[in-house]
Amino acid sequence: MTIKLKEIEDRVKLLSIPEKALLAERLIESLDSDEESGNELLWSEEAEKRYQAYLKGSQIALAADNVIMDARKHLK
């Protein structure tokens, strides 16, 4: 471990639990690549589009259990 990394680790130990949690969240977010962030945005937009279609009645909702059961039947 480098001296700077050790110094950072020592300073993090002085943070409150909420501050540590926020730092951990930001560190994890920083590991995401731009491509992953782009995919997350696309999925979020798709989910919103499907939800709006459901609210308008142009898309039906299916129970997850039924969808999984049907998918398993098609895999056999």
Q: Is 0.85 surpassed by the pTM of this model?
A: no
Task: Give residue 48's domain range.
Answer: 3-75
- The identity of residue 48, as a single letter, is E
Q: What DSSP string describes 5-50?
A: HHHHHHHHTTS-HHHHHHHHHHHHHHHS-HHHHHHHHHHHHHHHHH
| 22-39 confidence digits (pLDDT tens) | 999 999 888 877 677 778
Number of domains in the chain: 1
Region 41-70: mean pLDDT is 94
**pLDDT at position 8, please?**
95
How many residues appear in the chain? 76
